[in-house]
Structure 1
């Protein structure tokens, strides 16, 4: 169940990007609106990992490595090699035009929060969003009711919540089949004479094991194919080729902005 009522007791959850999430209500936010901005995704510049839902694996794989992190094996896209650095956002705040933008980013400044006491989800808005202001050109409410903009945001967040649950089920299936393995992203620099220098570990993460996948029975493979999981698995595996692209982008960024690279 979802609601836009400002019931603050029992809300829980801590999410990336949101500095001041508040339960959306006409009483607190009736005069607010959003202004169009030239760089709507500049707020992602300080993160290198962004959560992803399973149905996004294929389009995201064209831009980023898709990996699994943490005890929950949360799928994320890797946007940079260092914490606090997003190689897909320029220093001026422009998001790389050809790169896929995850739904987690596109739903901002709205988000659902858990109301543990009432066992429901509450639609919240980040009051700290730079483009949210009194008298903004696109209002959150019209005549005391959610505006078309807010209604679309509610629908988007509802769909995102469904995809989040589908993603949890996908990860649970991979765990059940014992398909995960620990992998490392490694970069081998070159010495001045062209010989290989000492390899450098860039990241350690969970990935689906191709060897374990090969041991599954034909019936299980057919089941994964029919329920769509196999396609997502292959998209993840192909995406891991993107580590080389990230390394090249990091070198390019360092050459253009040496001071930032050494920060």
Structure 2
């Protein structure tokens, strides 16, 4: 069975200095590629910023994953403008790292820096080069550092979600939205933290979570719920255009 690619990525492969000596990225930033998804994965380290702009939910699955909700319809990202600009001051790290990504090798013993060669901004013999004289340019070095940092936050995020599950705090939820136009939207397949159960955590657990920095993440999740109104307003505005 072919393994599904991470969202946005079509043909990710390891970068090689000799093979990719002429590879480069076009100037400018265009987030049009992100317009196909109404959510993106979110690292715990991003909660402080993301909670000011997006609802932070937990995508349903065997292992729930924190996500920033970007639209009320599947395949619709309300934060990507027609010209490819991002309609918010905070762009999730998952989006910012594209077209680069860390991927495990076949035996899962190490990670390699990969690039989605199908990305529209990836070109040859033009743009900002990734290699010069067989060595990574500052552009590629920065991409490597960004992906390494992003991967480094993965374990902490997983530990937080595991703690939520073990405490029985994640609960199934759905959103039913009625627009002024009369259109009704329904969004499911996600979980939220049950605030009542959270308030009943044993004191020992509460103190442990405070030491680990998890309490802050819970509060950021609660704060982010106010951003549903932003999504509804953007959806309504789009319907009027």
TM surpasses 0.5: yes
Q: CA RMSD in A?
A: 2.1
Cα displacement (A) at 1:199: 7.2
Report 1:101-116 matches (<5 A): 101-116=91-106
Is 1:90 matched up with 2:81?
yes
2:70 to 79, 104, 108: 79
Aligned to 2:203: 218
Report 1:7-156 matches (<5 A): 14-37=5-28, 39-71=29-61, 72-96=63-87, 98-117=88-107, 119-156=109-146
Superposed CA deviations along residues 97-127 of structure 1, whole A, max 9, x for unmatched, are: x341111111111111111326111111111
Cα distance change on mapping 1:161 and 1:230 into 2, 3 Å: same
Q: 2: distance between equivalents of 1:222 and 1:186?
A: 36
Which blocks of at least 5 consecutive residues in structure 1 are unaligned? Answer: 1-10, 192-196, 257-263
Which blocks of at least 5 consecutive residues in structure 2 are unaligned? Answer: none
Cα distance change on mapping 1:119 and 1:91 into 2, 3 Å: same
Q: 2: distance between equivalents of 1:255 and 1:18?
A: 32
Local SS of the residue matching 2:40: strand
Q: 2: distance between equivalents of 1:157 and 1:211?
A: 37
Contact 1:58 1:236 in 2 (8 A): no
Report 1:190-201 matches (<5 A): 201=186
Q: State the aligned residue count.
A: 239
Cα distance change on mapping 1:242 and 1:210 into 2, 3 Å: same
Q: 1: distance between equivalents of 2:102 and 2:77?
A: 25
Q: Which has the larger radius of gyration?
A: 1
Contact 2:24 2:124 in 1 (8 A): yes
Local SS of the residue matching 1:26: coil
Normalised by the length of structure 1, the TM-score is 0.84
Aligned to 1:185: 175
Cα displacement (A) at 1:17: 1.0
Local SS of the residue matching 1:27: coil
Contact 2:179 2:232 in 1 (8 A): no
Normalised by the length of structure 2, the TM-score is 0.92
Cα distance change on mapping 1:189 and 1:135 into 2, 3 Å: closer
Q: 2: distance between equivalents of 1:202 and 1:13?
A: 23
Superposed CA deviations along residues 194-246 of structure 1, whole A, max 9, x for unmatched, are: xxx89753334201111111111222212212221001111011111211211
Q: 1: distance between equivalents of 2:234 and 2:111?
A: 39
Q: 2: distance between equivalents of 1:228 and 1:29?
A: 41
